[in-house]
Amino acid sequence: MSKLAKLVYNRPFVLTLYFGLSLFAVVKSVIVHHIHNNYFVYKYGFINTIHLHTVFGPQPEHYNDLYHYGPVFALLMAPFALLPDSFGVILWVMFNAWALYIAIKLLPLKNRYYLPVLLICAHELMTSTANVEINPLIGALIILSFVFIRDKKDFWAALMICLGIFIKLYGIVGLAFFFFSDNKLKFILSMIFWSVVLFLLPMLISSPAYIIKTYHDWYGDLVKKNLSNIGPSLQDISAMGLIRNIFNYRQLSNITVIVPGIILFGAWYARIKYYRVIPYQLLLLASTLIFVIIFSSSSESPTYIIAFAGVAIWFMNLDRPVNRLELFLFIFALLLTSLSPSDLFPRYIRVNYVTPYKLKALPCVLIWLKIIYETIFRKFDTKTEGKQAPAL
């Protein structure tokens, strides 16, 4: 084993880098700059909920952004919002990093093969946590829904999916793993159970009338947000955003791109004989994590930790040795998707090309199309059925 390989599979090194970069980013913002505005958006979501104030709309006295989350998120933020801000924000960031770590570690990869996935995600995680984002947790919930369904823990898989939906809607893509369930009736009943529980739970810190109204207002807020994403903003880093900005085709409807995307995504389900083959299942997981980001007009740079986890899983799930195209796509993603928001990337290119043309999405779109190709044509060894993925 080469020195580089030993480093990649060195657990203390990988975990130090994975957690250390995020910790460094948040501590630096607290000490040198200021606590990121997003934390106050989240914190006052909880405070507004317990005081029965609306969580939506401008609140410049508290923060300079808008709140776009469901009532369950206010409850989730309670332990952090009750702490002094400096401690609360650090614990929130590390909780998100820990959740994603646990999810990746539980993947059906051979012993220690989760470490390269963590290493690949480390820089993109720092980008997300520097903005105090919730996206690492959302990514973790999607991965955990996959893990629990595979492990025949449908009850807990349903909780992961429902949490993702009730917090940010993205979690709904966990339903893509429905066909892995051996007890589909139990899974459906568990979904209904947790939907009812999570709908009612925030009422413990507010009131039934307030929560019902908040859900109604949340729908209207998301509709407005979707319309505002299109244009010269820092959002819409998506397949649609690429087309709109590269070809100056502003009138492009999201649905024109999303519908073909859904059809291609569904190609996975055609090869029924591979449903229980681990590498094929991991291909669906990678596709799902990337799909939910590149086909969302709400996607912004810190959101890409979800898609990049998909990129990492895809790369580590490839047959070895990888070919030149696969290696090129992976390096392209590292450079343009992961490194482009950082000071390691040329500022001129970032400001004049990457940001205005939404190019951060390009490598993930290409990799997702490569995954679709693999879904249709790649051959899998059915002997891996029910076993861990082979050593990579």
Given this model, what pLDDT does residue 234 score? 67
**Per-residue model confidence (pLDDT) at position 241:** 93
Q: Report how far Cα 283 is from the mean position of its chain's Cα atoms.
A: 16
Phi, psi (degrees; rounded to nearest 5) at 277: -90, 120
Q: Which of 377, 372, 367 is nearest to 294 (CA)?
A: 367
pLDDT-derived band at 232 (thresholds 50, 70, 90) equals low
pLDDT of residue 391: 41
- Are 244 and 252 in contact by the 8 Å Cβ rule? The answer is yes
Please compute the mean of the pLDDT values over residues 138-146 and round it to a whole number: 97
Query: Could you report the per-residue pLDDT of 153-200, keeping only the tens digit for each?
Result: 999 999 999 999 999 988 999 999 999 999 999 999 999 999 999 999
Q: Please tell me the predicted confidence (pLDDT) of residue 389.
A: 47
* pLDDT, position 92: 96
pLDDT at 386: 54
End-to-end Cα separation, the chain, in angstroms: 13
Per-residue pLDDT at 231 exceeds 60: no
pLDDT confidence of residue 390: 43
What does the alpha-carbon distance between residue 68 and residue 114 come to, in Å, rounded to a whole number?
A: 32
pLDDT tens-place string over residues 278-295: 999 999 999 999 999 999
- What digits encode the pLDDT tens for the residues 314-343? 999 998 889 999 999 999 999 999 999 888
Stronger pLDDT, 35 or 332, i.e. the higher one: 332
Report the DSSP beta bridge partners of residue 277.
Answer: 385
Calpha distance 129→305 (Å, rounded): 9
**pTM value > 0.75:** yes
Cβ–Cβ under 8 Å, residues 275 and 150: no
